[in-house]
Amino acid sequence: MKNLLILTASIALGAAAPAFGADLAGQPVNIKAPPFPVVAPINDWSGYYIGLNGGWGSSHNCWDFNGGTSEGCHNSTGGTVGGQIGYRWQIFKTVYGIEGQGNWADFSGSNVSSAFPADTIGTKTDAFGLLTGHVGYAFNAVLLYAKGGAAVTSNTYHVNSVANGTELGRNNDVRWGGALGAGAEVSLTPNWSVGLEYDHLFMQGSNVSFPTAVGFDRVHQDIDLVTARLNYRFGPTLAK
């Protein structure tokens, strides 16, 4: 009897084994796929932008009486604040652009005339504007660029008495010239960026006459500017 039970159990286990093996073979094997690599977004500098700027400037002014007798030179220095608007388009990593800028300024300075020691001559630049083209190279969120174009300045000239400071003559003009500059800009968010820029303005010489003086002064001017910039950019900011 005992041997019969053992034999029966062995037959039952033998019959069940293939079915159990088949069940195991049919189970799907779960293999976790490796994660896709994360690609850092590429900043796109294309689009319209508008912004504010502010900083420091120095206007170097040399006066020549009747265009031939030097009266000396002086630096008119001070602060400036203004705004800019422009458009950029990016092709691969090269960025092209055009920009208009307008600034209020307070660059003032003077010197005692070397030709007329009783007089003090002075220059004040109270505004300037730039219209420039840009070309730059983008390191993703960092843009390095150079710029060049036209410049215009608004200036006031005065002659004062050294003895008592009395104003002897005053005149003003608006003059045109050229501009060259370079800057760096960093994208802080998809739309906001900050930058630092240097510009040199090459202004044309101007003849300035004063009502109480005989003759005129030929005034030569160059301006150096260092400004910090804050821009808001419209349009695409991330290239996919």
**What is the C-alpha separation between 143 and 153, in angstroms, rounded?**
28
Residue 142 has pLDDT above 90, yes or no: yes
pLDDT score at 211:
82
Q: In the prediction, which pLDDT does 31 show?
A: 61
- Confidence at 10, pLDDT banded by 50, 70, 90: very low
Please determine, for residue 37, whether its predicted confidence score (pLDDT) is greater than 60. no
* 44-239 has CATH 3.20.20.140 classification: no
Which residues on adjacent β-strands are paired with residue 115? none
The per-residue pLDDT for 213 is 74
So where are the chain's domains? 44-239
| pLDDT tens per residue, range 209-219 | 998 778 899 99
Residue 18 has pLDDT above 80, yes or no: no
Going by their DSSP bridges, the two strands 42-43 and 119-139 should be labelled as unpaired
The percent of residues in the chain predicted with pLDDT above 90, rounded, is 75
Q: With a cut of 50, say whether residue 39 has pLDDT above it.
A: no
Give the pLDDT score at 7: 41
What are the residues whose beta carbons fall under 8 Å from the beta carbon of 138, sequence distance 6 or more? 43, 45, 90, 93, 94, 95
Give the three-class secondary structure for 28.
coil
Digit-coded pLDDT (tens) for 77-112 = 999 999 999 999 999 999 999 999 999 999 999 999
Q: What is the mean pLDDT of residues 195-224?
A: 93
Rg (CA), the chain: 37
Q: Answer whether residue 4 shows pLDDT above 50.
A: no
- pLDDT score, position 49: 98
